[in-house]
Structure 1
């Protein structure tokens, strides 16, 4: 009997172990909507190799194409804000413009721009070709912005580009064109902030009060004391702004609708990258954020893209607290990391300066060399750049934006070896005094000097690329290699040119004699090939290994 008990206990123990093993196996096969499970994630190699992707801000807001004193893609929010209903009255320009050009928002609302968004000259194949011509390795299509007008054939709302406006599934057309050319395809979803975006439409009782428009304008919960939307006595504009922002909340319907549409977009097009703006940051979205992440990663596993731990897709998030570190890819809007990161990350930026992202006629764009300099800074720290362009409402790109794509592509054709499939060196480079300073609006400026150098290397760690962001003249001195044994240097050259460069090791570091400045005229990568491995700078090498 005792033996039977022992045997039974053994059998039960083995059974429990088998059950536990089965549970562990299940948990390591598919993701669960918990931070612990989602933490089993790594960014895909294709993404870290790509370095550059293109993106667009394109939608109904491209029709009015008026930024006033903020951003063109925010026209739908600010056209409803009356004088006194914004911090520093910033929105009054859009409201006044709307009154002058289109009339009272009660009579001509944001929804009335939709028939004017026709995309009559949109050519997905041409867009994909421009993406390749510009040197990008993935393309992210705008799926839906804050305005909640969907650019795909959603079955969850009548407010979409198949039922209205273009009468086309714009996301699907781009997905097919991009993948046909061997590029990765992403989607962009900003709809979480829809509850806040049309806040003033609701408060001022314009066309958002009509129940038929709720799937476009949302169903936010806001306090009655904000109905007048005026400042309290003694209240500063900043205090009022915080009060207004913090008291307007998404309704249960807004939250559920966001999750349903977000899943649908993933299910229909199986994107390799899914980008989110900051609208889903509030705590009310947390359970849904986790639910979607598990759903998206599991989809990738189900469709054969990857496996648990490495689903081979990218999920972007904006705020450090929105997702736990290591559960998705951190994105920085017009910014980035200051140092080399332990995991791939992303900068999203635009060809326009300041806050604007949507198309506005006759608005200057950044010089291409500034974009190239920013790209080299980002990738030197293990980042990826997703660069947004702004098509016209008919689906064509302004000529100056196409010119930038051509110039960027030409530079990458000559110098892409220092970009694609590279990894950060031990240090990311030498940063000049002007780099990363902020202007009066708080926006970082990426202005390089002859001091600025950024490092990348090949995966084999045998070739180092030292990219000069400005042409230094006849000689480059890399002080990073002061005191380092450089006897293993095999060949030094300048990408995009022929021949070997003369170099020597001096007390100052590695001195390289430069010839004539190359014709491509921006960001000049020096290629330094070693016999074996690239040596580390003396100051970063472990004690006992110093040369």
Structure 2
């Protein structure tokens, strides 16, 4: 993760951290709709399910540090090194890579995660099979730097191939599943060639000058993704991170972080996507920030567009403050998370919510509580989310609008101080039918309404106001 904010105006979800200042965005006029009918079909399915889970997990969870980035020799807040090796990059890298010898997540239980995510109303899942540090959370045959490797104490566990176990657990609960994969790999010599120590996140040599070395890296990347596309059952999404690994022709000089990319780093996405879809027909490919045919949907990070967007998109957002595990996490309230989902869906997006497992293989218990609270709301109001289309005016003040066929949903997002609906509510949209029935989800009582200007006035009986007290969002159904 981590890109600089550019392009459209976005609303900050998460402030006070370096992560909030980064994000993947580009000129969406360059979006290319897929031509493959199976890909289109899967994209439509994905757009209908709205709500997913992302998990960042690796050896870095033992130190409670930002995933991978402390290895990166850049002077940025999210790359800060701490501990006894902080002033010695080579010593730090060696100590970081030695974490594989102590990573032993014996409480690993992906069935518990899948059940909790299902309870919350999530319907797809993306797992970090490999982050930028190169440590594989799957049984790759291309490297020994992996959770199933000889140096890993967890290798003897019958569930050591955690990617396979996680995908299987979620698939069995009916989820669409996806593999996060980092295009850069800071552990392998064909990317950070030791002959030229790295200066930053990019490849440490010029691929044009050393084409054989770069070909070796292309093949390494292809082979690892091929493993994921052939040995792990049905995969719906290939979610690729590390957008600086891209052909020079795709670098957008108007984007500040892309201007710093020194070399063309073309991993041959056509070859990768072709292989992926040969093995996984209809596979969605998400080559983040690289506009074109291999970015089937766009992924604003830690931010939400301030308006409706007509292309497929997904906000990836942390439930707490960090993508990776930290011992004391600051989880967002369920009210905020529900309202975030409602806001995103009204603007034509999906929400991918990140929870980070710890070094023992378990989530913070508070994460389970949040998912249960979200699920309590979704169980009653999910029909205003799943399979809906945004309805103009999309978002207006405290209102968010969606529709399904001839049914409209007007969602009222409570302020922090609002615990009850007002006795008289003005909806800024009017029913298409003069005799339309209007009710609030979670109740069976038809409400009285009258047209006023461009909208309608609705009277809420006191008994209903009391019954619905304390909800994060109240949904009016107009049919």
**TM-score, normalising length: structure 2:** 0.77
In the alignment, is residue 463 of structure 1 matched against residue 426 of structure 2?
A: no
1:30-45 equivalences in 2 (<5 Å): 39-40=35-36, 41-42=39-40, 43-45=42-44
Larger Rg: 1
1:334-413 equivalences in 2 (<5 Å): 334-353=302-321, 356-413=322-379
In the alignment, is residue 181 of structure 1 matched against residue 180 of structure 2?
A: no
In the alignment, is residue 194 of structure 1 matched against residue 185 of structure 2?
A: yes
Deviation at 1:74, TM superposition (A): 3.3
DSSP 3-state at the match of 2:184: helix
Report the CA distance shift for 1:287/1:61 in structure 2 as closer, same or farther (over 3 A). closer
DSSP 3-state at the match of 1:331: coil
For each residue in 1:452-487, what CA deviation from the matched residue of structure 2 results, as whole angstroms up to 9, or x when unmatched?
2111111xx211111111155222212244xx7641
DSSP 3-state at the match of 1:329: coil
Could you tell which deviates more after superposition, 339-348 or 150-159?
Answer: 339-348
For each residue in 1:164-203, what CA deviation from the matched residue of structure 2 results, as whole angstroms up to 9, or x when unmatched?
242100011112211222222211112x2324xxxxxxxx
**TM-score, normalising length: structure 1:** 0.68
DSSP 3-state at the match of 2:314: strand
Deviation at 1:387, TM superposition (A): 0.8
DSSP 3-state at the match of 1:497: coil
User: Does the Cα contact within 8 Å between 1:344 and 1:382 map onto a contact in 2?
Assistant: yes
Deviation at 1:527, TM superposition (A): 0.8
Deviation at 1:293, TM superposition (A): 1.6
1:244-393 equivalences in 2 (<5 Å): 252=214, 253-269=216-232, 270-279=234-243, 281-283=245-247, 284-286=264-266, 288-301=268-281, 311=282, 313-319=283-289, 322-324=290-292, 328-353=296-321, 356-393=322-359
C-alpha distance in 2 between matches for 1:401 and 1:528: 34
Residue equivalent to 1:474 = 423
C-alpha distance in 2 between matches for 1:48 and 1:173: 26
DSSP 3-state at the match of 2:63: coil
User: Considering only aligned residues, what root-mean-square deviation do their CA atoms show, in Å?
Assistant: 3.1
**Structure 2 unaligned blocks of 5 or more:** 1-30, 208-212, 248-263
Report the CA distance shift for 1:100/1:347 in structure 2 as closer, same or farther (over 3 A). closer
User: Does the Cα contact within 8 Å between 1:102 and 1:108 map onto a contact in 2?
Assistant: no
User: Does the Cα contact within 8 Å between 1:62 and 1:358 map onto a contact in 2?
Assistant: yes
C-alpha distance in 1 between matches for 2:88 and 2:202: 28
User: Does the Cα contact within 8 Å between 1:503 and 1:512 map onto a contact in 2?
Assistant: yes
Give the count of matched residue pairs: 408
**Structure 1 unaligned blocks of 5 or more:** 1-34, 67-71, 196-213, 230-240, 302-310, 431-450, 530-547
DSSP 3-state at the match of 1:73: coil
Could you tell which deviates more after superposition, 390-399 or 255-264?
Answer: 255-264
Residue equivalent to 1:209 = none
Deviation at 1:401, TM superposition (A): 1.0
Could you tell which deviates more after superposition, 175-184 or 392-401?
Answer: 175-184
C-alpha distance in 1 between matches for 2:434 and 2:173: 44
1:99-118 equivalences in 2 (<5 Å): 99=85, 105=91, 109-118=95-104
C-alpha distance in 2 between matches for 1:527 and 1:45: 24
User: Does the Cα contact within 8 Å between 1:135 and 1:412 map onto a contact in 2?
Assistant: yes
Which residue of 415, 422, 434 maps to 1:487?
434
Residue equivalent to 2:23 = none
DSSP 3-state at the match of 2:191: coil
Report the CA distance shift for 1:39/1:338 in structure 2 as closer, same or farther (over 3 A). farther
Residue equivalent to 2:53 = 54
